[in-house]
Protein backbone atom coordinates (compact mmCIF):
# COMPACT_ATOMS: atom_id res chain seq x y z
CA UNK A 1 0.00 0.00 0.00
CA UNK A 2 2.22 2.76 -1.27
CA UNK A 3 -0.14 5.58 -0.35
CA UNK A 4 -0.31 4.36 3.23
CA UNK A 5 3.48 4.38 3.45
CA UNK A 6 3.61 7.99 2.28
CA UNK A 7 1.35 9.23 5.06
CA UNK A 8 3.13 11.35 7.66
CA UNK A 9 0.73 10.17 10.36
CA UNK A 10 -0.36 6.54 10.64
CA UNK A 11 -2.85 5.33 13.23
CA UNK A 12 -2.49 1.70 12.14
CA UNK A 13 0.45 -0.34 10.89
CA UNK A 14 0.15 -3.95 9.76
CA UNK A 15 3.47 -5.74 10.31
CA UNK A 16 2.64 -9.04 8.61
CA UNK A 17 1.84 -10.91 11.80
CA UNK A 18 0.57 -8.21 14.19
CA UNK A 19 -1.31 -4.90 14.21
CA UNK A 20 0.48 -1.88 15.64
CA UNK A 21 -1.91 0.79 16.94
CA UNK A 22 -0.85 4.31 17.82
CA UNK A 23 -2.17 4.96 21.34
CA UNK A 24 -4.03 8.20 20.70
CA UNK A 25 -4.74 8.72 24.38
CA UNK A 26 -1.07 9.59 24.88
CA UNK A 27 -0.73 12.13 22.08
CA UNK A 28 0.72 14.66 21.62
CA UNK A 29 3.26 14.23 24.43
CA UNK A 30 4.10 10.60 23.64
CA UNK A 31 4.09 8.71 20.34
CA UNK A 32 3.63 5.08 21.37
CA UNK A 33 2.58 2.13 19.21
CA UNK A 34 1.11 -0.90 20.98
CA UNK A 35 1.31 -4.25 19.21
CA UNK A 36 -1.66 -6.63 19.12
CA UNK A 37 -1.64 -10.30 18.18
CA UNK A 38 -5.27 -11.29 18.69
CA UNK A 39 -8.79 -10.00 18.14
CA UNK A 40 -9.48 -9.53 21.85
CA UNK A 41 -6.60 -7.08 22.10
CA UNK A 42 -7.84 -5.11 19.10
CA UNK A 43 -11.34 -4.98 20.59
CA UNK A 44 -9.90 -3.58 23.81
CA UNK A 45 -7.90 -1.00 21.85
CA UNK A 46 -11.12 0.17 20.18
CA UNK A 47 -13.18 0.22 23.39
CA UNK A 48 -10.49 2.09 25.30
CA UNK A 49 -10.11 4.66 22.49
CA UNK A 50 -6.50 3.87 21.75
CA UNK A 51 -7.82 3.89 18.21
CA UNK A 52 -10.87 5.99 17.34
CA UNK A 53 -12.55 7.52 14.33
CA UNK A 54 -15.14 5.48 12.45
CA UNK A 55 -13.02 4.47 9.40
CA UNK A 56 -9.98 3.61 11.54
CA UNK A 57 -12.15 1.54 13.87
CA UNK A 58 -13.44 -0.45 10.90
CA UNK A 59 -9.95 -1.03 9.51
CA UNK A 60 -8.59 -2.06 12.91
CA UNK A 61 -11.46 -4.52 13.32
CA UNK A 62 -10.73 -6.00 9.88
CA UNK A 63 -7.15 -6.67 10.90
CA UNK A 64 -8.50 -8.06 14.17
CA UNK A 65 -10.31 -10.71 12.12
CA UNK A 66 -7.05 -11.49 10.32
CA UNK A 67 -5.37 -12.02 13.69
CA UNK A 68 -8.23 -14.30 14.72
CA UNK A 69 -7.78 -16.47 11.63
CA UNK A 70 -4.01 -16.58 12.23
CA UNK A 71 -4.61 -17.74 15.80
CA UNK A 72 -7.29 -20.36 15.22
CA UNK A 73 -6.86 -21.74 11.68
CA UNK A 74 -3.98 -24.09 12.42
CA UNK A 75 -5.10 -24.98 15.93
CA UNK A 76 -8.68 -26.16 15.62
CA UNK A 77 -11.05 -27.93 13.26
CA UNK A 78 -13.68 -25.50 14.51
CA UNK A 79 -11.68 -22.42 13.64
CA UNK A 80 -14.52 -20.75 11.75
CA UNK A 81 -16.78 -20.77 14.82
CA UNK A 82 -14.00 -19.28 16.90
CA UNK A 83 -13.39 -16.56 14.33
CA UNK A 84 -17.11 -15.76 14.24
CA UNK A 85 -17.04 -15.42 18.04
CA UNK A 86 -14.14 -12.96 17.72
CA UNK A 87 -16.09 -11.01 15.09
CA UNK A 88 -18.99 -10.71 17.53
CA UNK A 89 -16.56 -9.48 20.18
CA UNK A 90 -15.20 -6.83 17.82
CA UNK A 91 -18.75 -5.78 16.87
CA UNK A 92 -19.52 -4.98 20.51
CA UNK A 93 -16.56 -2.61 20.89
CA UNK A 94 -18.26 0.63 19.66
CA UNK A 95 -21.99 0.66 18.78
CA UNK A 96 -22.34 3.94 16.85
CA UNK A 97 -19.58 3.69 14.21
CA UNK A 98 -21.30 2.01 11.27
CA UNK A 99 -17.94 1.53 9.50
CA UNK A 100 -17.14 -1.09 12.13
CA UNK A 101 -20.08 -3.25 11.12
CA UNK A 102 -19.53 -2.57 7.42
CA UNK A 103 -15.91 -3.78 7.65
CA UNK A 104 -16.86 -6.84 9.67
CA UNK A 105 -19.55 -7.71 7.11
CA UNK A 106 -16.88 -7.56 4.40
CA UNK A 107 -14.69 -9.90 6.41
CA UNK A 108 -17.58 -12.30 7.09
CA UNK A 109 -18.35 -12.39 3.38
CA UNK A 110 -14.78 -13.41 2.63
CA UNK A 111 -14.79 -15.90 5.50
CA UNK A 112 -17.87 -17.56 4.01
CA UNK A 113 -16.09 -18.30 0.76
CA UNK A 114 -14.37 -21.62 0.10
CA UNK A 115 -10.81 -20.33 0.15
CA UNK A 116 -7.79 -22.45 -0.67
CA UNK A 117 -5.76 -20.29 1.71
CA UNK A 118 -8.14 -18.68 4.24
CA UNK A 119 -5.47 -16.57 5.91
CA UNK A 120 -4.25 -15.10 2.61
CA UNK A 121 -7.82 -14.41 1.53
CA UNK A 122 -8.87 -12.74 4.75
CA UNK A 123 -5.69 -10.64 4.84
CA UNK A 124 -6.25 -9.52 1.25
CA UNK A 125 -9.75 -8.36 2.23
CA UNK A 126 -8.45 -6.32 5.19
CA UNK A 127 -5.69 -4.74 3.11
CA UNK A 128 -8.22 -3.87 0.41
CA UNK A 129 -10.46 -2.14 3.00
CA UNK A 130 -7.43 -0.19 4.23
CA UNK A 131 -6.17 0.82 0.78
CA UNK A 132 -9.62 1.78 -0.50
CA UNK A 133 -10.19 4.00 2.52
CA UNK A 134 -7.01 5.93 1.80
CA UNK A 135 -7.95 6.32 -1.87
CA UNK A 136 -11.46 7.46 -0.89
CA UNK A 137 -10.03 10.06 1.49
CA UNK A 138 -7.89 11.59 -1.24
CA UNK A 139 -10.90 11.71 -3.56
CA UNK A 140 -13.07 13.35 -0.88
CA UNK A 141 -10.28 15.79 -0.15
CA UNK A 142 -10.34 17.11 -3.69
CA UNK A 143 -14.14 17.20 -3.94
CA UNK A 144 -14.47 19.05 -0.65
CA UNK A 145 -11.68 21.45 -1.51
CA UNK A 146 -13.68 22.47 -4.58
CA UNK A 147 -16.45 23.66 -2.25
CA UNK A 148 -13.99 25.64 -0.13
CA UNK A 149 -12.74 27.69 -3.07
CA UNK A 150 -12.50 31.30 -1.92
CA UNK A 151 -13.13 30.52 1.74
CA UNK A 152 -10.96 32.46 4.19
CA UNK A 153 -11.50 30.32 7.27
CA UNK A 154 -12.81 26.94 8.41
CA UNK A 155 -13.63 25.43 11.79
CA UNK A 156 -13.31 21.69 12.39
CA UNK A 157 -14.45 19.50 15.27
CA UNK A 158 -12.94 16.40 16.87
CA UNK A 159 -10.27 14.64 14.76
CA UNK A 160 -11.01 13.48 11.24
CA UNK A 161 -7.53 13.11 9.82
CA UNK A 162 -5.11 10.26 9.25
CA UNK A 163 -5.48 9.35 12.92
CA UNK A 164 -9.18 8.62 12.41
CA UNK A 165 -8.89 6.83 9.06
CA UNK A 166 -6.62 4.62 7.01
CA UNK A 167 -4.70 7.76 6.05
CA UNK A 168 -5.08 11.40 4.90
CA UNK A 169 -8.46 11.94 6.52
CA UNK A 170 -12.07 12.86 5.79
CA UNK A 171 -12.89 16.41 6.94
CA UNK A 172 -9.25 17.05 7.73
CA UNK A 173 -8.35 15.61 4.34
CA UNK A 174 -10.56 18.28 2.76
CA UNK A 175 -8.76 20.95 4.77
CA UNK A 176 -5.38 19.54 3.74
CA UNK A 177 -6.35 19.55 0.06
CA UNK A 178 -7.81 23.06 0.28
CA UNK A 179 -4.74 24.43 2.07
CA UNK A 180 -2.54 23.21 -0.79
CA UNK A 181 -4.59 25.28 -3.21
CA UNK A 182 -5.05 28.55 -1.33
CA UNK A 183 -4.34 30.40 1.92
CA UNK A 184 -6.79 29.19 4.58
CA UNK A 185 -7.20 29.99 8.26
CA UNK A 186 -7.87 26.76 10.12
CA UNK A 187 -9.56 26.71 13.52
CA UNK A 188 -9.99 23.60 15.67
CA UNK A 189 -12.08 23.42 18.80
CA UNK A 190 -10.92 21.47 21.85
CA UNK A 191 -13.64 18.82 21.52
CA UNK A 192 -14.28 17.93 25.12
CA UNK A 193 -14.18 15.75 27.09
CA UNK A 194 -11.38 13.80 25.36
CA UNK A 195 -9.86 16.89 23.73
CA UNK A 196 -9.38 15.30 20.32
CA UNK A 197 -9.07 18.74 18.76
CA UNK A 198 -6.37 19.85 21.17
CA UNK A 199 -4.42 16.61 21.36
CA UNK A 200 -4.93 15.09 17.93
CA UNK A 201 -6.07 17.57 15.27
CA UNK A 202 -3.64 20.31 16.28
CA UNK A 203 -0.80 17.79 16.48
CA UNK A 204 -1.66 16.22 13.13
CA UNK A 205 -1.87 19.56 11.35
CA UNK A 206 1.44 20.59 12.88
CA UNK A 207 2.99 17.42 11.46
CA UNK A 208 1.76 18.53 8.03
CA UNK A 209 3.03 22.10 8.43
CA UNK A 210 -0.49 23.57 8.39
CA UNK A 211 -0.98 26.42 10.90
CA UNK A 212 -3.99 25.95 13.18
CA UNK A 213 -5.65 28.06 15.86
CA UNK A 214 -7.23 26.26 18.82
CA UNK A 215 -10.39 27.60 20.45
CA UNK A 216 -12.42 26.55 23.47
CA UNK A 217 -15.60 24.72 22.47
CA UNK A 218 -17.61 27.53 24.03
CA UNK A 219 -15.89 30.13 21.81
CA UNK A 220 -17.35 28.79 18.56
CA UNK A 221 -20.37 31.11 18.50
CA UNK A 222 -18.24 34.20 19.00
CA UNK A 223 -15.75 33.03 16.37
CA UNK A 224 -18.60 32.74 13.87
CA UNK A 225 -19.94 36.13 14.93
CA UNK A 226 -16.60 37.73 14.01
CA UNK A 227 -16.90 36.42 10.46
CA UNK A 228 -13.62 34.50 10.70
CA UNK A 229 -15.01 31.26 9.28
CA UNK A 230 -17.09 30.50 6.21
CA UNK A 231 -17.44 26.75 6.75
CA UNK A 232 -17.63 24.21 9.55
CA UNK A 233 -16.14 20.97 8.21
CA UNK A 234 -16.77 17.74 10.14
CA UNK A 235 -16.73 13.99 9.71
CA UNK A 236 -19.39 11.43 10.60
CA UNK A 237 -19.74 8.14 12.42
CA UNK A 238 -23.07 7.29 10.81
CA UNK A 239 -25.24 8.91 8.13
CA UNK A 240 -28.84 7.84 7.74
CA UNK A 241 -30.64 7.44 4.42
CA UNK A 242 -32.33 10.84 4.77
CA UNK A 243 -29.00 12.58 5.50
CA UNK A 244 -29.09 12.98 9.29
CA UNK A 245 -25.57 12.70 10.72
CA UNK A 246 -24.31 11.15 13.94
CA UNK A 247 -20.93 12.58 14.87
CA UNK A 248 -18.86 13.52 17.91
CA UNK A 249 -20.82 15.23 20.66
CA UNK A 250 -20.86 18.97 20.01
CA UNK A 251 -21.41 18.68 16.25
CA UNK A 252 -25.12 19.45 16.62
CA UNK A 253 -24.28 22.57 18.64
CA UNK A 254 -21.95 23.77 15.89
CA UNK A 255 -24.60 23.10 13.25
CA UNK A 256 -27.17 25.20 15.10
CA UNK A 257 -24.64 28.01 15.58
CA UNK A 258 -23.60 27.84 11.94
CA UNK A 259 -27.20 28.17 10.80
CA UNK A 260 -27.68 31.23 13.02
CA UNK A 261 -24.55 32.95 11.71
CA UNK A 262 -24.83 32.12 8.01
CA UNK A 263 -21.88 29.70 8.13
CA UNK A 264 -22.03 26.62 5.89
CA UNK A 265 -21.71 23.07 7.22
CA UNK A 266 -19.90 20.32 5.31
CA UNK A 267 -19.98 16.66 6.37
CA UNK A 268 -17.23 14.49 4.89
CA UNK A 269 -17.43 10.69 5.13
CA UNK A 270 -16.90 7.59 2.98
CA UNK A 271 -19.84 5.65 1.59
CA UNK A 272 -19.25 2.97 4.23
CA UNK A 273 -20.50 5.49 6.82
CA UNK A 274 -23.98 5.57 5.28
CA UNK A 275 -26.41 3.23 6.99
CA UNK A 276 -29.07 2.53 4.39
CA UNK A 277 -31.03 0.50 6.93
CA UNK A 278 -31.81 3.56 9.07
CA UNK A 279 -34.12 6.21 7.68
CA UNK A 280 -33.51 9.03 10.16
CA UNK A 281 -31.34 10.09 13.04
CA UNK A 282 -33.64 9.31 15.94
CA UNK A 283 -33.18 5.62 15.13
CA UNK A 284 -29.42 5.76 15.82
CA UNK A 285 -28.18 4.19 19.03
CA UNK A 286 -26.03 6.81 20.76
CA UNK A 287 -23.13 5.46 22.78
CA UNK A 288 -22.77 6.71 26.35
CA UNK A 289 -19.45 6.29 28.08
CA UNK A 290 -18.59 6.01 31.76
CA UNK A 291 -19.50 9.16 33.74
CA UNK A 292 -16.11 8.86 35.44
CA UNK A 293 -14.59 10.33 32.28
CA UNK A 294 -16.21 13.64 33.24
CA UNK A 295 -16.15 13.62 37.03
CA UNK A 296 -13.25 14.84 39.19
CA UNK A 297 -12.15 12.34 41.81
CA UNK A 298 -13.87 14.29 44.58
CA UNK A 299 -17.26 13.52 42.99
CA UNK A 300 -16.74 9.77 42.57
CA UNK A 301 -17.98 8.90 46.05
CA UNK A 302 -21.57 7.65 46.03
CA UNK A 303 -22.67 10.24 48.55
CA UNK A 304 -21.22 13.21 46.64
CA UNK A 305 -24.59 14.03 45.07
CA UNK A 306 -22.90 14.77 41.73
CA UNK A 307 -23.44 12.57 38.69
CA UNK A 308 -22.62 12.99 34.98
CA UNK A 309 -24.23 12.30 31.61
CA UNK A 310 -21.63 11.38 29.00
CA UNK A 311 -23.04 10.83 25.48
CA UNK A 312 -20.23 10.44 22.96
CA UNK A 313 -22.20 11.46 19.87
CA UNK A 314 -25.13 13.62 18.87
CA UNK A 315 -27.25 13.77 15.72
CA UNK A 316 -27.35 16.73 13.35
CA UNK A 317 -30.57 16.88 11.30
CA UNK A 318 -30.17 17.08 7.56
CA UNK A 319 -31.86 20.49 7.45
CA UNK A 320 -28.74 22.04 9.00
CA UNK A 321 -26.28 20.51 6.51
CA UNK A 322 -25.06 22.39 3.43
CA UNK A 323 -23.17 19.55 1.77
CA UNK A 324 -22.33 15.88 2.28
CA UNK A 325 -19.10 14.83 0.57
CA UNK A 326 -18.30 11.18 -0.20
CA UNK A 327 -15.81 9.53 -2.54
CA UNK A 328 -18.72 8.89 -4.90
CA UNK A 329 -19.80 12.50 -5.14
CA UNK A 330 -21.22 15.54 -3.37
CA UNK A 331 -24.82 16.10 -2.27
CA UNK A 332 -25.61 19.79 -1.94
CA UNK A 333 -28.50 20.80 0.31
CA UNK A 334 -29.32 17.16 1.12
CA UNK A 335 -32.57 18.12 2.90
CA UNK A 336 -34.08 19.12 -0.46
CA UNK A 337 -32.26 16.43 -2.43
CA UNK A 338 -33.75 13.44 -0.58
CA UNK A 339 -30.75 12.86 1.65
CA UNK A 340 -27.98 10.69 0.24
CA UNK A 341 -30.13 8.31 -1.81
CA UNK A 342 -28.77 9.72 -5.06
CA UNK A 343 -25.37 8.27 -4.24
CA UNK A 344 -26.57 4.70 -3.79
pLDDT in tens, 194-252: 999 999 999 999 999 999 999 999 999 999 999 999 999 999 999 999 999 999 999 99
Instruction: Give every strand in the sheet of 313-316, ordered side by side.
Output: 274-275, 238-240, 245-248, 313-316
Domains assigned to the chain: 2-135 (1.20.120.420), 141-343 (3.40.50.10470)
Reported as a single tens digit per residue, the pLDDT across 97-131 is 789 999 999 999 998 887 789 999 999 999 999 99
Residue 1 has pLDDT above 50, yes or no: no
**Section 22-39 average pLDDT:** 96
Question: What is the pLDDT at residue 6?
Answer: 56
| Catalytic machinery residues | 237
CA–CA distance, 71 with 79 (Å, rounded to integer): 9
**Section 77-101 average pLDDT:** 91
CA–CA distance, 19 with 17 (Å, rounded to integer): 7
Amino acid sequence: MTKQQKETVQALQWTGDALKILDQRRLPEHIVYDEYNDAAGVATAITSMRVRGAPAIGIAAAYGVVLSVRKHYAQSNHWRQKVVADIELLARSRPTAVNLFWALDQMKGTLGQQLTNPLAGILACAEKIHAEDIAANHKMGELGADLLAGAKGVLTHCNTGALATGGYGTALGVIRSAYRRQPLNVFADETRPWLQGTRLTAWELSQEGIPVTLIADSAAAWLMKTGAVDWVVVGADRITANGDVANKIGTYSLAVLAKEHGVKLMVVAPMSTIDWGINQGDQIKIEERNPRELLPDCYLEEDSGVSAWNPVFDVTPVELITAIVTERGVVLNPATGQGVRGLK
